[in-house]
Amino acid sequence: MPGYDVIVAGGSVSGLLAAREAAAGGLSVAVLEEDSEIGTPEHCGGLVSIAGIRNIGIVPDASAVENTKIARAKILSPSSGFEISAEKQKVMVLDRRAFDKQIAFQAQKLGAEIKVKCAMRSFSKKEDDGPTYIVKTSEGDLVCKYFVDARGVASIIARNREGVLQSAQYEVYAPWIERDTIEVAFDNQRYPGFFAWIIPTAQGSGKVGVAGRGINAASALQSYIDGKGKCSIVRKVYASIWVNGPMENLVSDRMIIVGDAAGQSKPTTAGGIYTCGMGGVLAGRAVAEAARKNDDRLLAQYEKDWRSMFGAEFEKMLLARKLLERLDNKAIDELFSAVPPEKIEEASASGDFDFHSAALAKILGAKSATRMAKALLGNEIRRLIDIS
């Protein structure tokens, strides 16, 4: 039965980065990807900060960068909206298929073995010759000392569906897509608990999507597109996303959970290239250190470091999400109209794409608190009337 120090189930960003770091530490590593190609299906919008990419230790190849000209974001409610400058955020749009392959190549050069079209069926603990796992796959059984679960939202759904939303994202060619402008549209009737989005990849092309609780994502997205005008749809992807924040106990014995499987995508946007990627980096380093010193207690450092980096930010984002989910469209309109222009300018000047709760705090600042409180109060009264 073939054996490895580490088996990583899932060949997306977090799993590949965990494999890269573990292999860099001298461990034998296998990555199991159930799809036929690394980076496919590409259900991620690909929006990430340049600083975040640098932090996970990779400079994207030219083939992996689709757009570096993002200058603004339009934030829309059903009847109003505002615009935020994105120039200081320094974000880019990645082609995830090419980007994920680049990380896979890094991992492979360090000794990791990548297996595509190889699905993990089950894993179980084997104690007779030390703590090891037997991993049953579509290509036969494997043995490992450490097991990294990077299987994405599918791993969570088996345990908890409460934080799962349905999404659809199409690759679209259309004259109404502006290369330098992201669009985010809130409408709690059409996209309850989330929003619709446009992420441009070039002038006239981009990734257009919607997500929401209890919706038919395909129908909702088609309606959103129809409202924009003529276009050509060249690719359709449907996926579940997770918005309830990180799981508890990311380390158990020698099993480590990373990325979307660990709930490390942002609760506000479900984006996770940086936050999930850092989960993979930190997990891989912790596994390598634990193996080197023969001390499994060092695995806990991964979770400690990740929560130190992102825990407080995720708590604030979860509060923002709970607020959003309670608002009806009238309250969203009133909330948007209460935002002072100077607060938008402050958020544009000082916002951090990876830690955007500070920008939210500026936009929802003290000067507009009274008008916002009235909007929220009206929302709660309407909810009470509907219930009665």
**How much is the mean pLDDT over the chain?**
89
Check whether residue 263 and residue 231 sit in a common domain.
no
pLDDT of residue 377: 57
Radius of gyration (C-alpha) of the chain in whole angstroms: 22
C-alpha 72: how far from its chain's center?
21
Residues 132 and 278 in one domain: yes
DSSP β-ladder status, 3-9 and 140-149? parallel
Instruction: Identify the band that residue 38 occupies on the pLDDT scale cut at 50, 70 and 90.
Output: very high
Please check whether residues 148 and 170 belong to one and the same domain.
no
d(CA 383, CA 326) in angstroms, rounded, equals: 9
Average pLDDT over residues 303-321: 94
With a cut of 80, say whether residue 343 has pLDDT above it.
no
- Residue 70: inside a domain, yes or no? no
pLDDT at 370 over 60: no
- pLDDT > 60? residue 18: yes
Residues 235 and 378 in one domain: no
Q: What is the CATH number of the domain that holds 252?
A: 3.50.50.60
Question: What pLDDT, on a 0 to 100 scale, did the predictor assign at position 363?
Answer: 63
**What is the percent of the chain where pLDDT is above 90?**
71
**Higher model confidence: residue 1 or residue 147?**
147
Return phi, psi of residue 216, to 5°. -90, 100
Residue with tokens 């825990």: 311
Choice among 102-106, 179-183, 322-326 with the minimum mean pLDDT = 322-326
Q: How far, in Å, CA of 268 to CA of 237, rounded? A: 21
**φ and ψ of 151, to 5 deg:** -85, 5
pLDDT at 387: 46
Indicate the pLDDT class of residue 41, thresholds 50, 70 and 90: confident
For residues 172 and 283, membership in a common domain is answered with no
Residue 361 has pLDDT above 90, yes or no: no
- Residue 73 CA to residue 27 CA, distance in Å, equals 43
| Interior angle at CA 296, CA 295 and CA 300, nearest 5 | 120
Q: Do 233 and 368 have their domain in common?
A: no
Render pLDDT for 66-111 as a digit per residue (tens, 0 to 9): 999 999 999 999 998 888 888 888 899 999 999 999 999 999 999 9
Same domain, 193 and 253: no
User: CA 172 to CA 204: how far, in whole Å?
Assistant: 8
Is residue 67, in this structure, part of any structural domain at all?
A: no
Q: Are residues 147 and 31 in the same domain?
A: yes
pLDDT digits (tens, 9 = 90+) for 135-170: 999 999 999 999 999 999 988 876 767 789 999 999
Residue pointed to by tokens 């109060």:
377
For the residues 45-59, what does the mean pLDDT come to? Answer: 92
Identify the band that residue 366 occupies on the pLDDT scale cut at 50, 70 and 90.
Answer: very low
Q: Residue 172: which domain range?
A: 164-242
Q: Tell me, what DSSP letter sits at residue 230?
A: -
Helix residue ranges, H only, 178-328:
217-226, 273-293, 300-326
What are the angstrom distances between the C-alpha of 14 and each of 238, 261, 335, 354? Answer: 20, 9, 36, 16
330: left (phi over 0), alpha (psi -120 to 50) or beta: alpha
Return d(Cα 249, Cα 77) in angstroms, integer.
37
In terms of domains, do 228 and 112 share one?
A: no
Reply yes or no on whether the pLDDT at 388 is more than 70: no
pLDDT of residue 331: 86
Contact residues for 199 (Cβ-Cβ < 8 A; gap 6+): 45, 46, 47, 93, 182, 206, 207, 208, 209
Which of the four pLDDT bands, split at 50, 70 and 90, describes residue 353?
confident
Residue 28 CB neighbour total at 10 angstroms: 17
Number of domains in the chain: 3
Q: pLDDT per residue over 235-293, tens digit each?
A: 999 999 999 999 999 999 999 999 999 999 999 999 999 999 999 999 999 999 999 99
